Amino acid sequence: DVKVTQSSRYLVKRTGEKVFLECVQDMDHENMFWYRQDPGLGLRLIYFSYDVKMKEKGDIPEGYSVSREKKERFSLILESASTNQTSMYLCASSFGGGGITGELFFGEGSRLTVL
Amino acid sequence: AQSVTQLDSQVPVFEEAPVELRCNYSSSVSVYLFWYVQYPNQGLQLLLKYLSGSTLVKGINGFEAEFNKSQTSFHLRKPSVHISDTAEYFCAVGNNAGNMLTFGGGTRLMVKP
């Protein structure tokens, strides 16, 4: 069964803290994505990666960075968390070249609260 | 640039009634369209997709959608809903350049007994 696993379902952090959100997929997918989900705004793409050590900015990259040192792992980093980064974060993966014609596989999400 | 508009943020409906969730898109390139469903406290899963061919697409759980190029729409329908269909539904459009989906704001379907 295909699997995208996000390390933490719920996190509570304080303003200014550094936050790591980890995502691992076991499908040997080339592409990995980080989305942010907010009520009424749907999903907005933060960053994506087509290959190891490669990254591309999405629609809302400000305040975030990513790391992809291994094919199966894609990390989202908040260098200095702020309250407006309180949100649900979704990781997804897909086959190479398959983001259009293929399917995105999503993790269950990480709900981050920044106090 | 692409965009997706889901016209209804919430749709309440009684069990066994038909439902239509509306989605309109704008895209200057070839269109690839998707519907995803998110059950409470879960990630998103693919419901159905349109890539080419027949404009009527059938998906899982009895859902179907129709691609209408002239109206730039991709509405999702089900003839008879169940309580278990209560979820949030997202319409998305894929770009032609590669590997990017743009999502709509979501529609929360609330099925009442």
Q: For residue B27, what are its two tokens?
A: 């895209």
- How much is the pLDDT for A102? 60
In this prediction, residue A100 has a pLDDT band, given cuts at 50, 70 and 90, of low
C-beta atoms of A42 and B106 within 8 A = yes
CA distance A72 to A52: 9
C-beta atoms of B49 and A97 within 8 A = no
DSSP string, B18-77: -EEE--EEE-SS--EEEEEEE-TTS-EEEEEEE-SS-SEEE-GGG-EEEEETTTTEEEEE
C-beta atoms of B32 and A43 within 8 A = no
Q: Which amino acid is at B10?
A: Q
The answer on pLDDT for A2 being more than 80 is no
In this prediction, residue B102 has a pLDDT band, given cuts at 50, 70 and 90, of confident
Tell me the domains of chain A and their CATH numbers. Answer: 4-97 (2.60.40.10)
- How much is the pLDDT for B113? 94
Of all residues in chain A, the one with the smallest CA distance to B36 is A104
CA distance B56 to B58: 7
Give me the number of domains chain B comprises.
1
C-beta atoms of A97 and B99 within 8 A = yes
Q: What is the DSSP letter of A40?
A: T
Distance from the A105 Cα atom to the nearest Cα atom in chain B, whole angstroms: 7
In this prediction, residue A95 has a pLDDT band, given cuts at 50, 70 and 90, of confident
Distance from the A17 Cα atom to the nearest Cα atom in chain B, whole angstroms: 26
- How much is the pLDDT for A99? 47
CA A52 to chain centre: 15
CA atoms within 13 A on the CB side of A56: 13
More confident residue, B26 or A98: B26
Unique residue bearing structure tokens 């975030």: A64
Structural domain including B14 reads 3-112
Chain B CB contacts of A103 under 8 Å are: 46, 49
C-beta atoms of B103 and A94 within 8 A = no
Chain B CB contacts of A43 under 8 Å are: 44, 90, 92, 103
Distance from the B72 Cα atom to the nearest Cα atom in chain A, whole angstroms: 18
Q: In this predicted structure, which of B10-14, B47-51, B64-68, B73-77 has the lowest mean pLDDT?
A: B47-51
Question: Which of A9, A104, A110 should be substituted to probe chain B, the one whose Cβ sees the most B Cβ atoms within 10 Å?
Answer: A104
Q: What is the DSSP letter of A76?
A: E
Residue A106's DSSP bridge partners are A92
For residue range B84-100, list pLDDT tens digits in order.
Answer: 999 999 999 887 655 67
- How much is the mean pLDDT over chain A? 91
CA distance B8 to A102: 27
**Those residues with Cβ within 8 angstroms of residue B52's Cβ, 6 or more apart along the chain or in another chain:** none
CA atoms within 13 A on the CB side of B14: 1
The answer on pLDDT for B73 being more than 60 is yes
What does R_g of chain B's alpha carbons equal in angstroms?
Answer: 13
Residue B91's DSSP bridge partners are B35
In this prediction, residue A97 has a pLDDT band, given cuts at 50, 70 and 90, of low
- How much is the pLDDT for B5? 94
CATH number, domain containing residue B41: 2.60.40.10
Give the residue among B113, B70, B94 at the shortest CA–CA distance from B4: B94
- How much is the pLDDT for B66? 96
For residue range A9-56, list pLDDT tens digits in order.
Answer: 999 999 999 999 999 999 898 889 999 999 888 899 999 998 899 999
More confident residue, B102 or A96: B102
